[in-house]
Chain A
Amino acid sequence: MEDIISLEGVSYSYYDKITAIQDISLGIKEGERFAIIGANGSGKSTILQIMNGLIYQSKGKYFFKGNEVSKQALRDNGFLRFFRERVGYVFQDSDVQLFCPTVLDELLYGPLQLKMEEDEAMDRTFEVMQILNIENLKDRPSYMLSGGEKKRVAIGSVLTMNPEVLLLDEPTNGLDPRTQCFLVELMFALSEAGKTLVIATHDLSLVDELHTKVALLSEKHRTEKIGPSEDILRDEDLLLQVNLIHEHMHYHGQAVHSHRHSHHVYHKH
């Protein structure tokens, strides 16, 4: 099967000085669950922003469904619409994503910009509100929502565009366990519905739960390894090397002991 998203030797640096990512090559298949993991500052969000055509690589090439995505290509309105309809991005900071007067407007924003008829957009919006259980919030402004509610609305604002690919930047960050659990279930449901999920995270338990394919980034902003989550999460030396796990010391009764701590299945005694 052809890759829906393909990066070939992509590099990006901020202000042409600070390297964000270097020579990244990866391919994502249609309907795949794909996680980009790495320590803080390794370049996960930058890769997602390039995948969404928000910033442009300084080197290398990015292909979406076989079409090269570049500043030039996105100037063509036909391709821009084709691309935006198919790739949705959920930002890490929901406050950034929620800029409309009410939750209802927020969910309607995407479909209306894509020139969808108001009635159709409204039907889709109510469907998404039901899925996310946010119908009671529809008339609320975004600054009157809790963190978990904001995240649901932010996801809803992308789902109403019904994209084929969902880019999620640290989706579980700062959420309570219940909302995290809801999100994991939602991601499974979206994956089963055939959506391609690309998740940038350093939450190893999320990667483990979702059984994704993983691209592991090093602190030198390069891909260290790409493979199934089981293989990568089992390689403790590699995870330690990229600073995703650490040596952890704690008490068991009176005895103190230390071990590598990754907060998931490898926390064995």
Chain B
Amino acid sequence: MPFIEKGIHHFAYVIKTGYIQWENASKDHFFQRIDARIKVLFLVFYVIIVSVKKDIPSEALIGAFVFILILISRLNLVGLYKRVLFFGFIFGFLIAFPSAFNVITRGEIIYPVLHLSRPYNFWIYRIPKEIGLTMEGVYGVMMLTSRVMNSLAISFFVLYTTPFPEIIKGLKMLKVPDSFLMIITLSYKYIFIFAGTLADMHLAKKSRLAGQVSNAEARRWIAGRIAFIFKKSRQHYEEIFKAMISRGFSGSIRIYRGKRLHARDWVTGITFFLVGVLILWM
């Protein structure tokens, strides 16, 4: 059952990374101490700037600024950028890559790939005689990839410097409804609890296994466990609902608004804002 082992290890990894997120975010460096509300606003503002800017030098400038912030925060550079590159490659480069060809983006061919005997017309599409990468297409792909990578870098920066509960409070300031925040919190919490349950169930099974199990049987076991987890989570949510009612829940939720901002939060917030405006103006 190597695929089950692999799946379980992945769940264990989820728990571990969650814990690492908490540990990193709780470290006493400068950006880790900045109020989450400032960081959530920074995230929203800069993701908008990244989407609004239409040239690569501006994207590079934003990328450099975020890189400096990550350096100052003493985060694990390699680990963070490995994730940024991985997701940036999949959701930025790979998705946009076909648009670099003249089949999709018309323009000057800078790298011919294929020569056909004649052009083909198919419904509303036209396949030209010479297929290749165009200048405009490559620029578009680079633009989209850099946007995705910058957005990811900004998001990871905020995630790695802010404990999850603080992010929730930051979202509260952005007027995200309390009941929605409660759902996010509960979901996040139960990923941990059920990942642990799943790992325990697997170990309990493993401890009673003496021989090999066929793949079909392993699949049946997984299907059964999925149903079990589903029932268990239903039971759990009923219990949680009772616990909420017991403590005065009657339809709407009130969460504590949080502490006041310090001088360093204001200074950082204003600096982020001014740099953002400067990038927008350039």
Report which A residues bind B (CB closer than 8 A).
49, 52, 54, 77, 80-81, 84-85, 88-89, 91, 93, 95-97, 99-102, 104-105, 108-110, 112-114, 118, 121-122, 139, 141-144, 157-158, 161
Contact = CB atoms under 8 A, between A and B. Distances in A.
B273 interface: no
Interface residues of B, number: 31
B247 interface: yes
A113 B246 contact: no
B201 interface: no
Contact of B168 (A77, A101, A139): A101
B255 A105 contact: yes
- Interface of A, secondary structure class, is helix
Given A95-B193, A113-B250, A100 B243 contact: no
Contacts of A97: 243
Nearest to B168: A101
A54 B164 contact: no
Given A99-B240, A143-B189, A113 B164 contact: no
A221 B140 CA distance: 72
A112 B254 contact: yes
Nearest to A109: B247
B57 interface: no
A223 B247 CA distance: 29
11 contacts: A49-B242, A77-B250, A88-B247, A89-B246, A91-B242, A93-B239, A99-B240, A101-B169, A141-B164, A143-B193, A144-B22
Contacts of A108: 256
B245 interface: yes
B1 interface: no
Contacts of A112: 254-256
B165 interface: yes
Contact of B245 (A54, A81, A104, A144): A54
Given A91-B239, A99-B186, A141-B163, A161 B244 contact: no
A101 B185 CA distance: 6
Nearest to B15: A143
A91 to B, nearest CB: 6
Given A54-B246, A144-B22, A158-B247, A99 B256 contact: no
Contacts of A114: 248
B275 interface: no
A143 B246 CA distance: 21
Contact of A105 (B189, B245, B256): B256
Given A99-B243, A141-B189, 20 more contacts: A52-B246, A84-B247, A84-B248, A89-B243, A89-B246, A91-B243, A93-B239, A96-B240, A101-B165, A101-B168, A101-B255, A102-B165, A105-B165, A109-B248, A110-B248, A113-B248, A113-B250, A122-B256, A142-B189, A144-B22
B243 A96 contact: yes
B120 interface: no
B16 interface: no
Interface in B164-209: 164-165, 168-169, 181-182, 185-186, 189, 192-193
Contacts of B236: 96
A252 B253 CA distance: 60
A104 B258 CA distance: 10
A139 to B, nearest CB: 7
B19 interface: yes
Contacts of B118: none
A88 B192 CA distance: 27
A5 to B, nearest CB: 15
Contacts of B139: none
B222 to A, nearest CB: 24
B249 interface: yes
A110 B247 contact: yes
A157 B242 contact: no
Contacts of A77: 250
Contacts of A49: 242
Contacts of B249: 113
Contacts of B82: none
B257 interface: yes
The 9 closest A-B pairs by CB, nearest first: A113-B248, A101-B165, A110-B247, A112-B254, A96-B239, A102-B165, A89-B246, A143-B192, A54-B242
